[in-house]
Chain A
């Protein structure tokens, strides 16, 4: 009897999770279809590009530069154990471009952008602004969701690219200033070691993470409960879901790029 209850509970949880996943997938596909179909709202797209992309630059830059610097120190210290200190430029470059750049930028975007999108849309929902949009013949998916998801798709790969460069610059600065590396040789090693495939995988991850982060913010905002508690829960859940999905997507995409 206890076992049956346990299995029943487990089954219900799995079904609930699958149903939620299905709703999110349908929402994401609907958002994509609204991006592709007119009318588009250029002002809203411009505002979303500014918020998701430009205004995220400082936090992305700071995260990348400190991570690149710390990575150089760690690799130098670790490499010294088997006389491999010289690999710092190569490992910093590949570590930032293939893994840390996209993941850290994705997580920072989840923290900064997903939360703000979810809180904004959830507040609009509880104050009936979304109902008002509908009565004013404006589709909320087109006016609120499509611009934000499009901005995530466009700007996060760019932020990842910038984050990669700044992260490598952080490693370079530490290596040259503190660890005594030759500046020209460091840059030469970095450039020679990186392949086009690495850069493409980095930017593709950025696009995927930008999509996930913006869709999660929009989905949980649009499905917020009532009142301040509803807005708070929507915001918290959106960030949790975005962070977990970004890490899961990173694992899957890394596997895919390994096989290519």
Chain B
């Protein structure tokens, strides 16, 4: 269970999170929606400890973020970044097996490579991709490699930051289906941030609408269309008129 309680974060005068409270149940897939610049990425980074909140409490299974063994804490997570964030200087297989080649999860190189190739296959990439460099891949392939890296060490919790941004609709659909399959197959807790409604409907068990630094509405994805929440209603229908200002 991931619990965020009254989390605040400001960057200078810009108060991004203003008392965000959200629970994500173990094994469920939570998708946070909201406009650009509303603090969705900041929320994920606060949970991972990449950004320290100014106030509030974040717990993962009752343990406060930042307390205890940091390596053990991070070993529970996998993350797919918006731009995949692959390491340019390493071949694909070493990107995927990065965590398995060093640190507490270190394995022999042959074994790590085998796992990497297996994970690449799982995301629909052929083994010959393993020895190529990220710059040689298309955007969709990079996203898949990023997904393979996120699941390489079989994490309990997986974060997806804008998984379909920059992809064509077909590739976006492929990535959405892969994410759903993998999360179900692994029984992992998933947190996704996106403003792509097709992703929301494909990935989510639960949805949370973030605006003005707080969660405006949260509930099962099946209830989203009938939520009667003005923020959710405006966002999912893409209307310019409503409580969310079109020009922010």
Contacts and interface: CB of A to CB of B under 8 A. Distances in A.
Interface in A136-187: 136-138
Given A135-B74, A138-B98, A138-B102, A127 B83 contact: yes
B85 A129 contact: yes
A47 to B, nearest CB: 8
A39 B106 CA distance: 12
A129 B48 contact: no
Contact of B81 (A47, A128, A137, A138): A128
B151 to A, nearest CB: 13
B71 interface: yes
A247 to B, nearest CB: 32
Interface residues of B, number: 25
A131 B105 CA distance: 19
B99 A128 contact: no
A31 B184 CA distance: 42
Contact of B102 (A39, A127, A129, A135): A39
A41 interface: yes
Contacts of A135: 48, 50, 74, 77-79
A132 interface: yes
A127 B86 CA distance: 9
Given A47-B89, A135-B79, 12 more contacts: A39-B103, A128-B85, A129-B86, A131-B50, A132-B79, A134-B50, A135-B50, A135-B77, A136-B74, A136-B98, A137-B104, A138-B102
A63 B162 CA distance: 49
B45 interface: yes
Interface in B76-126: 77-79, 81-83, 85-89, 98-99, 102-105
Q: Which of B50, B75, B149 has the most CB of A within 10 A?
A: B50
A257 B1 CA distance: 62
Contacts, number: 48
Contacts of B86: 129, 132
Nearest to A41: B102
21 contacts: A39-B102, A39-B103, A124-B87, A127-B85, A128-B81, A129-B86, A129-B87, A131-B81, A131-B85, A132-B79, A132-B81, A132-B87, A134-B48, A134-B50, A135-B74, A136-B99, A137-B71, A137-B74, A137-B99, A137-B104, A137-B105
A67 to B, nearest CB: 34
A138 B103 contact: yes
Interface string A31-63: 000000001010000010000000000000000
Interface string A68-79: 000000000000
Contacts of A134: 48, 50, 74
Contacts of B75: 137
B45 to A, nearest CB: 7
Contacts of B45: 131
Q: Which 8 A-B pairs have the closest CB atoms?
A: A132-B85, A128-B85, A137-B74, A135-B79, A128-B81, A137-B71, A136-B99, A129-B85
Contacts of B87: 124, 129, 132
